[in-house]
Amino acid sequence: MKPTTIGPALFTLARLMLLGLAGCIFIAGCGPTFDPASLVETTRVLGARVEIEGAPDRASPKPGETMSVTWLVTSPEAAPPLHWTFAVCAPDNASLGCDGAPLALFEGTDPTPRLTMLVPLLTALGTATRLVVYGEVCAGADSAPMFDPQHGVPSCTNGGGTTVSVSIPLQLDARDADANHNPIADRAFTFDGQEWPALPPGGEPCLTGPRASAGSQDHVIGNTTAGSDRELYTVFVGTPPVSTPARERLQISQFTTAGKLTNQFSFVEATDGDATTTVDVSWEAPKAADVPATGLPVTFTFVTRDDRGGTDWTTRALCVAP
């Protein structure tokens, strides 16, 4: 299904959607309310990563470069079929979203939603200093995305789905000043003090992963970050504006498919001057009544974000024994 043609009504979308949903990807993913929010019980969109062709570590595209946006979608079990659609626009800096027709529309059914496009040149961007990507991710073979022809609001034909939005700052300084790079989420992990490597492709957690007993508590997950992931940049403060050095902080969003994490977020502050910093989060295993005799595979997802739109993620897995 192709999206319905949409035009200036997207200005209405900016108020309807972005006021309530902009930044949702940068916090915890959108969709229904979860209790706890760190527990993945349904198909969820947890993040978006921007990469530049030829420089995949950079998250700030320049006019004329080719950029891609990849969305992280996770499920408690095997992921269902996905159908998604996105619109891209270059909003006026005074508005929250699109002021007119989108620059591009994308639609697909790949299990990992991803779009690739050429960033417009400065002559086409006008006063815009960022791009906005928004749309809908629909889960299930009978669900398809669409844009409301009157208001441009995205939705799914079966009423479900996840509305997503991400704002992408553009790098308008050709000298690469203050270029923003994606942090690296997978530095080193420990589980109860023991090294915890990523599960190899096709691996089975109940054959090769760490094990925890059903109902056990106070397991400690250690996530090591690097100081190099918190970049220095310049902000302008005061009246008249004065160039002031600043440093990013990291926010780590933590999710699990079973059990309970004590915190959904961990932070590494900008004032932390260490070369490496380990943040800990505790996890409680699910009760024995929820664990089959063969053991329960559990997947953890860690999404690392800096202050300026850089994003990365990684996963770990273990087995809960009955």
125 vs 290 pLDDT, higher one:
290
3-12, 104-113, 247-256: least confidently modelled range: 3-12
Q: What's the pLDDT band for 17 if we cut at 50, 70, 90?
A: very low
Q: What's the pLDDT band for 280 if we cut at 50, 70, 90?
A: very high
Q: Kindly report, residue by residue over 34-86, the tens digit of the pLDDT.
A: 357 999 999 999 999 999 999 999 999 999 999 999 999 999 988 899 999 99
Q: Kindly report, residue by residue over 114-135, the tens digit of the pLDDT.
A: 999 999 999 888 888 999 999 9
Helices (H), 167-318: 205-208
CA end-to-end span of the chain: 46
Average pLDDT, the chain: 87
CB 233 within 8 A of CB 307: no
Q: Which of the 8 DSSP states describes residue 81?
A: P
Q: What's the rounded Cα separation, in Å, for the pair 256 and 219? A: 13
Q: Which of the 8 DSSP states describes residue 16?
A: I
Cα angle: 302, vertex 304, 308; to 5 degrees: 160
| Tokens of residue 280, six digits | 């800990």
What is this structure's pTM?
Answer: 0.88
Domains and CATH numbers, the chain: 10-169 (2.60.40.1930), 188-321 (2.60.40.150)
49 vs 209 pLDDT, higher one:
49
